[in-house]
Structure 1
Amino acid sequence: MRNGGLGFAAMLLLAACSPSSEQSASEQAAGNASANAAASRYADRMSGTPQPPPPAKAFALAEKNDFLEFAYAYPGQAAAIPALVDKFGKEAASAKADALKMAKDDSAAAKKSGFPFRAHSLDRKWSVEADTPRFLSLESQTYVYTGGAHGMTGYDVVLWDRARHRETSVKALMTTPAAFATAIREPFCKELDRQRAEKRGAPVVRGDDPFTQCIDPMAEVIVPTSKDGKLIDAMTVVVGPYSAGPYAEGSYDVVLPIDAAMRKAIKTEYQDGFAGK
């Protein structure tokens, strides 16, 4: 069987090297590459070479009844890590149970008072913000509606350290939260005001209105992000509605590229996962 498999692979290689005269050079090259890859895969299978597992599939759950519309999702990168699958599975079950109980209680209270009941909603979706050799950074966006004038959106972050095979926290990366806060305070306030001005159509002028003041970035959700998938190259401070402006302004994503001051505020043992020097 093993000799036969290799013989079949050789036939594929020969076929790849014998294109018809009507084929263009690019078609010939593409055909050769495809045949060579197929032959290599077949030979590996026949010789017992271990094959990489198929990519994990993203998870998505959506359910709806008279009380609650519920959805929960996370990407394939998280599905490939058993600890995160367990974490998110428990989180989804707990969140659904709590939301359903609240909706049923609200329905019963509305019926008793003679008011109409509006079905509740809970939708949580995790997305990849950085997928590097060292870190997998996930951000969640959660929309909650409990029958009021409008729903609310919240955010969270999960950081997986691939080198240590465990979940960690963003603050655990810092030498101290105070040192990191000092490093990001000025660029954060500058970028937040730039985005505020863009949304409001006028420069931000400090005053008694709290929405003209800078806020504490350390009190918000800080998400490590990466553009190229090689290193963490920025920290994004995710500011939810009402924190930096009225509800109508929505949320703010304040992207802070890693600079020397920020890198210095990261513990030495984690710096290999960050851009800059």
Structure 2
Amino acid sequence: MRTGFFVPAAVLLIAACAPSQDKQNASVADNEAAARFADKMAGTPQPSPPAKPFAQADKSEFLEFSYAYPAQAAAIPFLVEKFGKDVASSKANALKMAKEDSVSAKESGYPFRPHSIETKWQVEADTPRFLSLESESYVYTGGAHGMTGYDVVLWDKARRRETSVKAVMTSPAAFAAAIRDPFCKELDRQRAEKRGEPVVRGDDDFTQCINPMEQVLVPTSSNGKLIDSMTVVVGPYNAGPYAEGSYDVKLPVDAAMRKAIKTEYQDGFASP
């Protein structure tokens, strides 16, 4: 004998009258489409699609070229234009030099080594007030080895414009005085770590404490809320031999550093 359970007629009636899930979803989609159409007809601005990271890479018999920047930069038209000009000019100049070297090598009877230039921007701070970007560029022009260089872009979100790191300081001299001692201490610590022995002061840049203001200063943030450190990026040969590579000397914002920041920018920096 088959067993079963009783379903009240009222329940069956409700189920029969209720719209299916597919119909409900279709109705929601239709309503959303109608709302978008109404907004469009009324002239309501439509939200822009999220920006995407930019990357370009090309390779020819003369030059290998690449350039990239993150989505945060791609969302700012000014930076898109700025980096677009940099892409065009750096590629054109590098290609011109590579072709000239190719001709020269052929005339001299030497093999030509293709050149390369690679630039990559990355986010070091993305806070409510600032977007800080650092680039690392590698350039090879046929020699024994290439060279690495660095740059920084600081975007002031509150003022919607690019500014410079030195522009946020009360003065470069005041900022230099605020960071020199901790910079020298941390640079020597990193030097000793790489060399396996303490630094002994001499009369050359590889043992002296170099001027941090002549290096690349990059505002950095660990929490995405405030600038809480300043990284002094020291390229090859500036503080040690090529084999030591670059140095990233991160200096936390302390009272002395914050005091050397202009009042109108201090809201973007951490309080020690």
Range of TM-score over shorter length: 0.7 to 0.9
Q: Distance in 2 between matches of 1:67 and 1:101?
A: 9
The aligned length equals 244
* TM-score (ref. length: structure 2): 0.85
Q: Distance in 1 between matches of 2:187 and 2:20?
A: 63
Which of 69, 73, 81 is 2:68 aligned to? Answer: 73
The alignment partner of 1:213 has SS state of coil
Q: Map Cα deviations across residues 169-224 of structure 1 (whole Å, 9 max, x no partner).
A: 00000000000000000000000000001101111111234311100000000000
* TM-score (ref. length: structure 1): 0.83
Does the 8 A contact of 2:205 with 2:238 survive in 1? no
Match of 1:273 in 2: 268
Distance of aligned partners of 1:257 and 1:42 in 2 relative to their CA distance in 1, 3 Å threshold: farther
Does the 8 A contact of 1:225 with 1:234 survive in 2? yes
The answer for unaligned runs of 5 or more in structure 2 is 1-18, 40-44
Which of 140, 164, 188 is 1:169 aligned to? Answer: 164
Which of 175, 181, 190 is 1:186 aligned to? Answer: 181
Q: Distance in 2 between matches of 1:55 and 1:231?
A: 24
Q: Map Cα deviations across residues 1-55 of structure 1 (whole Å, 9 max, x no partner).
A: xxxxxxxxx998xx9xxxxxxxxxxxxxxxxxxx9xxx99997765558774332
Does the 8 A contact of 2:232 with 2:248 survive in 1? yes
Q: How does 1:100-179 map to 2 (within 5 A)?
A: 100-179=95-174
Distance of aligned partners of 1:42 and 1:180 in 2 relative to their CA distance in 1, 3 Å threshold: farther
Q: State the identity %.
A: 75
Report the alpha carbon displacement of residue 69 of structure 1 after superposing the two structures with TM: 0.2
Does the 8 A contact of 2:125 with 2:221 survive in 1? yes
Letter in 2 for 1:84: L
Q: Distance in 2 between matches of 1:215 and 1:126?
A: 26
Q: Distance in 1 between matches of 2:268 and 2:246?
A: 28
Match of 2:218 in 1: 223
Q: Distance in 2 between matches of 1:40 and 1:261?
A: 58
The answer for unaligned runs of 5 or more in structure 1 is 1-9, 16-34
Letter in 2 for 1:68: L
- The two structures, once aligned, show a CA RMSD in angstroms of 2.2
